[in-house]
Amino acid sequence: MNAEGATAAKLSTYQRWLFFFLGVAGFFEGYDMFALSQLLPTIRGEMGLAAASEGMLIGFINLGGILAYGLVRRADLWGRRRVLTVTILGYTLCSLITGLAPDIWVFAGAQLMARLFLLAEWAIGIVYAAEEFPAERRGMVIGVLNGLSGLGAVVCAGIAAPVVASPLGWRGVYVIGTVPLLLMVIARRSLRETQRFSDRLAQAQLTKEPLLPGSVTQLLRPPWRNRTLFLGLIWWLTYACVANAITFWKEHAIQERGYKDGEVGLYISIAAVAAIPLTLASGKLLDRMGRRGGAVVIFGSLVVGVLGCYTIEPRALVLVCLVFGITGVTAVGTVLSAYNAELFPTDLRGDAFGLSNNLIGRTAMVVSPFVAGHMAERIGWGKTVAATTVLPLVAMVLLLLAMPETRGRELEETSAQPVS
């Protein structure tokens, strides 16, 4: 079925329920990321952290994204449902421990593990979306799931300031965030295994062959090597900018632009709300313009937005740039995760996503904040983060040079397409 027939594809009752269920993962990715960026100045003051130490803290926490690879790749052996269940339970527990952390060491450790489970949950959610929804709706579904990250950011931005000012303090933001997740722990009982993995399991049982996971060496041999490494590099270049863009903007605004804490919260709240419809529309953009055309728009929004909100002084323009920046930061995940899910077969899909995104791409989210923290002590956050915007530009060029168009095609067809 082609893209023009997208409106004819109807979602079943289970698919609509699954859509909502997976959306929670996107929501809490945004909530957790914005919780850290909103609370960082408060935690810095309470714990006595310097700018370089802030970068080290963020880099250490982001290490969880790399470690998530070990869990994500098990989805090709244990099944998507089992791994997703583990991630939901793990993130709920670690988020609660974060809120109860007595010192910076427990806080950092709990947040590292929370990030591990959260990003593994997000990755498996994308695999679910790719395998369980119609090809002509795939971009839209992945876009909405990533767009709900913006909603999580809005909720966090809205409650952070009053909760921090309450007797609960900054810890309350994490404790409150576990309540909806507890409901999802109960709801997971209705979650089914994906049909594609079930078919693969049935075939293995029929032929009496053991169900073996893919290996790193298999992904690094033809025909998978080029797409694995290209996607990993594109993720890396993108994350090297994204890792700092939102996390350190509050520090930049307060220290270098003279914003008040409440003003920063207001600006981020307004920008995050305005970015929601744009981010939700990013998936539909991919289904209409194609992955390649949509990538140009999305990466352009990221670069313009981040560059503007770290270099422009007029506050009205800063707010506009924040909207585009938040949209880009969230929506780049839509186009890249769509490619990562579409370019590999069922028996390698989880491992390939984990290798390209978690093991290769997210090393940038560990290294980049370390470097940014040290650079900020010398030249400030504005110049430091603005300089990173050249990296997603390079990523966009690589994508256009190497990635095929996959719009509206079944996974069995897209995974067989050559990559330059």
The confidence score (pLDDT) of residue 5 equals 44
Whether the per-residue pLDDT at 218 is higher than 50: the answer is yes
Q: Cα 408 from chain centroid? A: 23
Residue 210's pLDDT is 64
Q: Quick check: 391 pLDDT over 90? A: yes
Structure tokens at 209: 């062959």
Which of the two residues, 374 and 26, has the higher pLDDT score? Answer: 374
Dump the DSSP string for 149-168: HHHHHHHHHHHHHHHHHSTT
Average pLDDT of span 178-203: 81
Q: Which residue has the tokens 């793990």?
A: 90
For a pLDDT cut of 70, what percent of the chain falls above it?
Answer: 94
- For 183-208, give one letter per residue: b (16+ CB within 10 A) or e: ebeeeeeebebbebbeebeeeeeeee
Q: Angle, to 10 degrees, between the axis of helix 195-207 and the axis of helix 104-132?
A: 80
- pTM of the predicted model over 0.75: yes
The mean of the pLDDT values for the chain is 87
**How does residue 404 score in pLDDT terms, banded at 50, 70 and 90?**
very high
DSSP letter, residue 6: G
- What are the extents of the domains in the chain? 16-414
CATH 1.20.1250.20 fits 16-414, yes or no: yes
Stated as kind and residue range, the H or E segment containing 180 is helix 171-187
